[in-house]
A and B are shown apart, each in its own frame.
Chain A
Amino acid sequence: DVKVTQSSRYLVKRTGEKVFLECVQDMDHENMFWYRQDPGLGLRLIYFSYDVKMKEKGDIPEGYSVSREKKERFSLILESASTNQTSMYLCASSFPTGGGETQYFGPGTRLLVL
């Protein structure tokens, strides 16, 4: 079974703090993704990575950065957290399935920025 883990289920931070969200997958997947999920907006892609040290911007990268130093680990960084970054953050990883890529999600981190 694919396992994707995230460092925290719940996190409370103050405006201006630097926030690290960690994601680890144990299936040697090349691809990893960070999404945020907000009511009525579905899943919005923040950043993704196809390989170590590679990163690509998603739909809403502003205010975020990422790091992929090892294949199994993909970190999302909020350099200076703001209240509009309060959200559920979901990490996912995937392998090619021939015509598309099934994504496996972590349990999510619910971040509250005060």
Chain B
Amino acid sequence: GQQVMQIPQYQHVQEGEDFTTYCNSSTTLSNIQWYKQRPGGHPVFLIQLVKSGEVKKQKRLTFQFGEAKKNSSLHITATQTTDVGTYFCAGGRANNLFFGTGTRLTVIP
């Protein structure tokens, strides 16, 4: 069954609005990774979080790993049209990587 749940499945935002996608696991993860897949493209690694409560930033993107290492979030501030795509979280556990179902982001100019 699905080990890592991700919500929402779809999100439409006006350009300039913020966007957040959430990732939840029923079990403790050793790490959380985030990937971005542009339309027509393949998933590309963005970042990995390993420590409990860790927060990392990449320009307008903020990634958080929960204290219990069971959940994570990706927040984009002031979205741009270049942010469109599907964002996947992937939880690492026991040498395996479990991908979430992804959140497809559409940015309306």
- Give chain B's interface secondary structure class: strand
CA distance A97 to B42 in the complex (A): 21
Question: Which residues of B (27-60) have their CB < 8 Å from a CB of A?
Answer: 30-31, 33, 35, 41-45, 48, 50
Question: Which residues of A (82-114) have their CB < 8 Å from a CB of B?
Answer: 90, 92, 94, 97-108
Contacts of B44 in A (CB 8 A): 105
Instruction: Please tell me which one of the listed residues B6, B9, B35, B48 contacts residue A97 in the complex, with CB atoms under 8 A apart.
Output: B48
Instruction: Indicate if B101 sits at the interface (CB-CB under 8 A).
Output: yes
Against A, the Cβ 8 Å flags (1 = close, 0 = not) of B76-101 are 00000000000010101001010111
- Give chain A's interface secondary structure class: strand
User: Closest Cβ of chain A: how far from B70's Cβ, in Å?
Assistant: 15
- Contact-residue size bin, chain A (C-beta under 8 Å from the other chain): 20 to 34
Contacts of A106 in B (CB 8 A): 42
| A43, B43: Cβ atoms closer than 8 Å | yes
Knowing A90-B42, A107-B42, the reply to whether A42 touches B92 (Cβ < 8 A) is no
CA distance A101 to B32 in the complex (A): 10
Instruction: Please tell me which one of the listed residues B50, B88, B102 contacts residue A99 in the complex, with CB atoms under 8 A apart.
Output: B50
Instruction: Please tell me which one of the listed residues B6, B9, B88, B95 contacts residue A101 in the complex, with CB atoms under 8 A apart.
Output: B95
| A42, B101: Cβ atoms closer than 8 Å | yes
